[in-house]
Amino acid sequence: MKKPIIPVLIAILLAIGAGVAVYAFARSADERAVAQQQPVPVLVSAALVPAGTTLQAALADGLIEQSVVPQALRPVTALAGVTQSTAALVATADLPAGQVILDGAFAADLPDIAPIDIPDGQLAVSVLLEAPAKVGSFLRPGSSIAVYDTALQRVCGCTESGGQYFTTAGSLTCTVKVGKAVYFTYVGITNTHQMLIGGFYTSPPRSPSNATQVDSYEFRTTGTFTFQDGYTSIGGTFIVVP
């Protein structure tokens, strides 16, 4: 008895089609993997870059060098070189050696940090405090987020209650009013950290050598803005309300 030939042909065609699809998918995956390993240019600090140094001067003095990293490891906001529009920008804080230079590390001017007003006849002293007390009363009204190596802490100033620690990516939520600032303080860190807000704000890299600095951002529009530590997976969401 003869077997029907049409079902056999259909089975053969389906097998060929499945084989072609698997081959195409595998080839596409290989091409994507190769593309992620392609070297791309970045600027890297070769030595300490003092705050106030222009990008052009830092490159000319050898404080910053041209380097390459795999595409997969390149931060989104990393600078690839010095252009006419960025040459005169100045470092907003001391940059330690070995850092990939991000666009938020340089600005048109140094941050305007007002000194603490000390009344005549009195002295200012520094003391070791727990994270909630570190921000001090001399900061403008706003919200404070403490940054640890493996966690974030909602300290104060958010609508949500303060004191909680968050170790999961995206788990911290802070509701603030428009026009208020958010402050990031760095507590006992041994690694480098860098806060990124919604792709439009990048703090300077903070390592143990400059962890005493406080980074801030003032929200001027309402909305929901995600943020993340560029060197770890910890982060969360700011909800800015009227």
Same domain, yes or no, for 233 and 188? yes
User: Which residue's entry shows tokens 């405090």?
Assistant: 129
The pLDDT value recorded for residue 23 is: 57
User: Which range among 62-76, 127-141, 171-185, 210-224 has the greatest average pLDDT?
Assistant: 171-185
Same domain, yes or no, for 172 and 237? yes
CATH number at residue 181: 2.60.40.420
The pLDDT value recorded for residue 9 is: 63
Per DSSP, helices labelled H in 98-236 are 131-134
User: Which residue's entry shows tokens 């903070």?
Assistant: 206
The pLDDT value recorded for residue 228 is: 87
What rounded mean pLDDT belongs to the chain? 77
Same domain, yes or no, for 145 and 199? yes
Task: Check whether 35 has a pLDDT greater than 80.
Answer: no
pLDDT, greater one: 240 or 8: 240
pLDDT, greater one: 227 or 134: 227
Q: How far is CA 111 from CA 93, 203, 206, 229, in A?
A: 9, 12, 16, 21
The verdict on residue 222 lying in a domain is: yes
- Grade residue 95 by pLDDT with cuts at 50, 70 and 90: confident
Same domain, yes or no, for 195 and 101? no
Segments forming the whole domain that contains residue 99 = 39-107
pLDDT tens-digit readout, 205-222: 888 888 787 888 888 888
User: Which range among 83-87, 128-132, 162-166, 217-221 has the greatest average pLDDT?
Assistant: 83-87
- Grade residue 174 by pLDDT with cuts at 50, 70 and 90: very high
DSSP 231: T
Find the angle CA(123)-CA(124)-CA(125) to the nearest 5 degrees: 115
- Grade residue 113 by pLDDT with cuts at 50, 70 and 90: low
3-state secondary structure of 75: coil
Q: Which of 10-14, 79-83, 107-111, 123-127 has the lowest mean pLDDT?
A: 123-127
Task: Beginning with the edge strand found earlier in the chain, give each strand of the sheet holding 181-186 in spatial order.
Answer: 165-166, 152-156, 142-147, 181-186, 215-218
pLDDT, greater one: 72 or 71: 71
Listed residues 107, 130, 165: the one ending a domain: 107
Same domain, yes or no, for 152 and 202? yes
Cα(17)–Cα(23) distance, rounded to whole angstroms?
10
The verdict on residue 1 lying in a domain is: no
Reported pTM: 0.43
The pLDDT value recorded for residue 136 is: 45
The pLDDT value recorded for residue 11 is: 65
Question: How large a percentage of the chain has pLDDT more than 90?
Answer: 9
The verdict on residue 204 lying in a domain is: yes
Same domain, yes or no, for 159 and 231? yes
Mean pLDDT, residues 129-147 taken together: 57
Q: How far is CA 45 from CA 74, 140, 222, in A?
A: 15, 32, 36
pLDDT, greater one: 55 or 218: 55
3-state secondary structure of 62: coil
Same domain, yes or no, for 99 and 153? no
Cα(44)–Cα(156) distance, rounded to whole angstroms?
35
As for how many domains the chain has, the answer is: 2
Dihedral, CA atoms, 23, 27, 28, 34, nearest 10 degrees? 160
Contact (CB, 8 A) for 110 and 63 = no
The verdict on residue 32 lying in a domain is: no
Task: Check whether 231 has a pLDDT greater than 70.
Answer: yes
The pLDDT value recorded for residue 56 is: 92
Question: How large a percentage of the chain has pLDDT more than 70?
Answer: 70
The verdict on residue 88 lying in a domain is: yes
Q: Which long-range contacts (CB under 8 A, 24 or more apart) does 60-63 make?
A: none
The pLDDT value recorded for residue 149 is: 84
Listed residues 56, 88, 107: the one ending a domain: 107
Same domain, yes or no, for 85 and 144? no
CA 8 to chain centre: 58
Same domain, yes or no, for 103 and 142? no
The pLDDT value recorded for residue 134 is: 46
